[in-house]
Every structure is written in structure tokens, then in C-alpha cells.
Chain A
């Protein structure tokens, strides 16, 4: 099963490599990874998606917690949560295609953020599934380039991942 794990860690050189290294060292997979500083400049928040059965996920969270730079973590998929991913996508848009693509963008509530005579650059936010669906809707022969941020997430309600 797919899990989204958010990690608060020391904003120090080497911290990210320890987390990523753990995954390769122990043969765990990372499907996506996103990391940036938080409102507290001494902390970074890293969110990754991985998959595995309960025993594997338990080992992953235990080993992450063992990393000295890791301050706190949460498996967001254990409770109600919001997940978002941002995608910038360049698609071929010529002639009649332009209106067709624009309609798809509107249906998915994306926006065209740049254009040339032949190309639209579209910004789209949502769950990973939604972004996948958008790419599928456009079709392979239209898509020129995809840049996705990887999943970020936060729990619903009053629960927080903070010190």
C-alpha cells in the first residue's frame, strides 16, 4: 500500500542524504520526494511516498526515527489528510488542438501559464491521481515535457506536525 510520510528534520547539510541513503541501503523504494525549509529556519520538512506492507512501513518509520537529524515524523496516510502535487506540463497546441487542450485544462482546473504559437505550458495542482488522469486525458502524442514536484501533504483538522 502507498504511504505518505512527512518528516521534520534538522536543516543541516547531510540530513537529506541520510534519509535518502537509508532507503537505498535497506532496499526501500521512494516513489516521490519533496523537501524545503519550514517557517522555522532550523527545520526542513521532507515528504516522501513509498509503498509496502504494514511490517515494511513500520520498519521504514522506525529507521527514519533512528536518524539523528530526524526530529519528528508522521505517516499521513494513517489518518485523514490532504495531499497535493504541482505539475508544470508542456503540451503541443496547434490549430484546433489549442481549444481542445484549453478545455481539458479548464475541466481539471489547471491554468495555462505560458504559451507560444505551438506550445502551452500548463500548471496543475492536485493529488497524484488527478495529475496522472490529466496526462492520460491529453494523450501521449501531445505531451512534450512534464515537471512534477512530488507529493506534499498535511493532516486534516487540528493535528499538526510541529515541535
Chain B
């Protein structure tokens, strides 16, 4: 048995847990841990330039790989800076371990230098947290933390470690537990067969069925099963913002994203369906719109979710099924095969004819711009074509995020990396770093806006240090576009603090100042050639500053307080 200090136990336990990479930033309370990191080569540490970026990078890594992201920060401001990233992961159910340093145990509660109650301040945004009392507990706590973070509905777990627990002078026997029991934590797996039967019966008697799936299918690795089920049934399907890629966007049964900026056909089909199968989604207000009493008025609602608390939280489920999506869908497929009922093909044909009529509206067609001006949608389409739809695309939050979701068709899960629940500006760039660390050979694109990008621009330095060839596509409209759009639509066009064109930096020079490449695209006819030039630079980070139409809005857009069928379709058209 090895005799290790607390800091050594931590790095060893991370290695024993299969961790290859951690994202962090040193400071006083974690110096013992950093010294332990220095003395080993199993776990690679990535030095970011802000703790928030460490959490987003770990988050991007987790979303792209399905493995937990690991973060190491110091006490006090290191810990508080990590909070936004922890909350981001929490809202989107991303497995993450955040290790924070803490002042020495004897100092806790004395308002010591860089002391903050991390367990307390993170409590509402973590799945669970641990405060290490003694070094000898570290292996067991690490084991529990990874188990909790990665099973059931995943989420972030904080481990707060007082400095004295990592003292290099105190060595103890290290043994990593093979298994541990948590009597208070059971993970649901299979769904209840009787409930699944009820759902199957409803699906096979449906006249106007609809499948609506969310991030749970991606987190639960249920994409293959979902494709099989959907094709077997021949039903229309829509994905939430978090669920894009779970079902191939290029497939004819896919109606596009639903919700606030969902397609006309997806939202209409939701409103008029008679049986709604929801898998791994949570009837979020960006889907249902604010008044849930108007949501899917005729539908029998079948809800599959691993988290019982997500069921009947905002919309009451007629058939609730608690379980992991993959085994539940597998059993559904199995039961459909054995059922004496069959899909009502006639009714389905009528339903599809109706949907095709809605599709003909072509709600995502892009209006031609004035001479030479680049439409942001066209920029996303160009990125899609040049990357052949194969890139990992992270985004920030705002108009560019919606354009990316609408116009970059994801055919595979884990390719679309965005902060859907918390809506964290500044997420995209560090998340793209996490993706690039996970897959060094892949194309990692960050579609961003100039507002969001400025929130974590310091990571240019990290990308230079580790030579990350990320492609940043900045849809620069010289304004906080989504804020401005709402101000246009609901506040009489009063752009209160949403514009700043006179004070924007020269982004190409900014990129160059860090040693990267900057390309500016100002005219529509430069879009393809310059983007191709950017993507051809395989080993360089390229920041592409695309000046887009500053007056463009994201459509369709749900009408507040309306039903899903109520949408604004353009500046002049409503449903």
C-alpha cells in the first residue's frame, strides 16, 4: 500500500477514476495539490485564464465525450468564479466534478483570506457536494462524487478540500475503493413495463402522433434507440435546443427544433397532435411558452424521464415513465413488435399531409439582404457546408445561438454544445476548448456573437499555450442582438444599453495580439472564400469576424402567453 499525502491521494484517485485531463487555475489553498500534480504525469492539467472558463471547458469536454469534466480551483474568488459554470452544467445535467480548495480547517468560519463557504454558495446549483474532513477520506469521496455526477440524471458535484487535508508532510495509506454503497441514492434504470405498455397502446392508437425529445436522449446515450423507434413508427419528431443531434436533422421525419424559435411545422405539429411522446425533455418554458394551459390541448402526454421530479412539474403527464431513456425505448420497440395493435397508417398519412402543408411555409427561408450585406443565417449555412456538417459546434447565447441551432443541421449527438438551460454568455469559446482537448483532430467551431465572445476572450491565451486550432465564427452585428430584437418587438425599438458599436475592438487585431489569425468578412461575396481560407488553416486558431446585418431578427418566434401554434414568422407576418 502506498503512503500518500492528501494532494497525492487526490491526483491518484482522479487517475484511478479514469480522468485524463483537468481544467484549473492555481491559488493558495490548492498549492499542495498543484505540487502533487507537478510530481505525476498521469493526469494532464490545463491552465485556463479564468476559473469560469475552466468550468465551461470541462463542460464542453463532458458534452462532447459523455465523460465527466473535472475542474480544480482555489478557494474564495477561484471558487466563486466557478459558480456560473457549475450552474450552467447543473441546468443542462452535465456530469462535472469541481474540486475547490478551502482555507485550513482551523480557519474555517473566521473570514480568513480567500475564504468562502463553497459548499453553501454552490448548494442550489450542484447535484451534491462534499467537504473533506480528513485526508484519508479523499479516495472514498472522489469515488462517490464521480458515481453521483455520472449516474441517474447527471450533474455537477463539488468537493471542497481544506488546505491542511492536502498537507504533503502527512502521508497515509492509499486505497481506492472498488465499489461503494450509498444507501440514500438509487439510480433508476429500466422503466415500469406496465407503464411502457400503456404508452405503446397510446402510440399505436394515435391519429396525430408527435415525438418530442430533449437533452436526456443525448446524456442517456439513447440516440440509436430513438432513431430505431421513430423510423419503426414513422412518426414526426422534433428535438429541443438541448436535444439537437439525437435524431438526424437531415432525415425527412425530422421537423426541426421546436419552441420559442422552433420551426413552424414543429410547433404546429406539437399543438395539434393527439399523442405526444416526450423523451428526456422537461417541458421547459422555452418549449411550452409561458401559459402551459394552452400547451398541446388535445394530446395524451407520455413522458419518459430518468428524473421523477421532471415528470408533471410544469405539464401533467398522462403516462409517466421513470427510467433511463435507452432501456425504456428498447422496451418500447420490443413491445411494439409484440403488440396486436398496429400503427394507423391511414391516419398517419393524413397527418403527414397536414405537416407537409405546414412545411411548405418554408419558415426558415432567408430573405435576400440588401446589396453585399451578409445575413447571419447565410454565414451559419456556409459554415455547415464547408465543414460538411461534421464539426463540433459550440455556441454562446443570443441570436447567433438560435441561428446556429436552426441552420446547422446536426446529424449526430454530442456535436452541438450550448448552454440551453442557464443561457450563459461566454460559454462557447471555453467549451470549444474542452471539445478540442477531447478530440484534437476534430473541427471545433465556436459560433458566437461579439457580445458573448467578449465575456471570455481571455482564453485566447490558453489556446495559444496549448495550440488549439479552434475556429471562431463571430456573427458580429455590433449589438446584443437578442436583447435588441426584444426591444424592437416589445419596447418600441428603444435600444436601452444593447448597442456599443463605437467601442468594439478590432477583433482581427485582438486575435493577432495573442498570436492567432484574424479574418474579417464584410461583404456577402467574401463569405465562402474567406471561410474556406479559415477552415483550411488546420493548425491555427482563426477568429473570423463576420459583419452581419445588424437589423435581422430570429424567426419564427413564439408569441408570449400564446399557444405553440402562435408565432411571429417575420417582421410582417404572424400565424
Contacts and interface: CB of A to CB of B under 8 A. Distances in A.
Contacts of A9: 184
Contact of A18 (B123, B312, B313): B123
B119 A69 contact: no
A58 interface: yes
Interface stretch (B16-24, B126-134, B164-172, B516-524): B126-134
Contacts of B313: 59
Interface stretch (A30-38, A45-53, A60-68, A113-121): A60-68
A9 to B, nearest CB: 7
Interface in A130-163: 163
A107 interface: no
A10 B131 contact: no
A55 B316 contact: yes
Interface string B305-318: 00111001100100
Interface residues of A, number: 21
A66 B183 contact: no
Contacts of B308: 62, 65-66
A94 B365 CA distance: 87
Nearest to B130: A14
B309 A25 contact: no
Contacts of B307: 66
A40 to B, nearest CB: 11
B124 A14 contact: no
Contacts of A66: 307-309
A68 B119 contact: no
A14 B131 contact: yes
A12 to B, nearest CB: 9
A41 interface: no
B312 A55 contact: yes
B131 A13 contact: yes
B160 to A, nearest CB: 10
B182 A68 contact: yes
Interface in B173-189: 182-185
Chain A CB within 10 A, most for which of B128, B184, B185: B184
A27 interface: no
A101 to B, nearest CB: 44
Contacts of A62: 308-309
Interface in A55-113: 55, 58-59, 62-63, 65-66, 68-72
B109 interface: no
Contacts of B119: 14
B312 A14 contact: no
Chain A CB within 10 A, most for which of B120, B131, B308: B308
Nearest to A66: B309
Contact of B309 (A14, A21, A63, A163): A63
A68 B184 contact: yes
B183 to A, nearest CB: 6
A96 to B, nearest CB: 52
A71 B120 contact: no
A124 B12 CA distance: 58
Interface string B115-126: 000011001100
A71 B131 contact: no
B86 interface: no
B155 to A, nearest CB: 10
B148 interface: yes
B184 A59 contact: no
B123 A21 contact: yes
B312 A58 contact: yes
Contacts of B129: 14
Nearest to A72: B184
A70 B131 contact: no
A62 B313 CA distance: 10
Given A13-B131, A55-B316, A59-B309, A21 B124 contact: yes
Contacts of A21: 123-124
A59 B309 CA distance: 6
Nearest to B129: A14
Contacts of A72: 184
B120 A70 contact: no
Contacts of B123: 14, 17-18, 21
A72 B123 CA distance: 20
A21 B128 CA distance: 13
Interface string B290-310: 000000000000000001110
Contact of A163 (B120, B131, B183): B183
Given A14-B131, A17-B123, A71 B312 contact: no
A58 B316 CA distance: 12
24 contacts: A9-B184, A10-B184, A14-B119, A14-B123, A14-B129, A14-B131, A17-B120, A17-B123, A21-B124, A55-B312, A58-B312, A59-B309, A59-B312, A63-B309, A65-B308, A65-B309, A66-B309, A68-B128, A68-B148, A68-B182, A68-B185, A69-B184, A71-B183, A163-B183
Kindly list the 6 A-B residue pairs having the minimum CB-CB distance in the complex, ordered from nearest: A62-B309, A71-B184, A68-B128, A25-B124, A62-B308, A63-B309
Given A14-B131, A18-B123, 11 more contacts: A13-B131, A21-B123, A58-B312, A62-B308, A62-B309, A66-B307, A68-B127, A68-B182, A68-B184, A68-B185, A71-B184
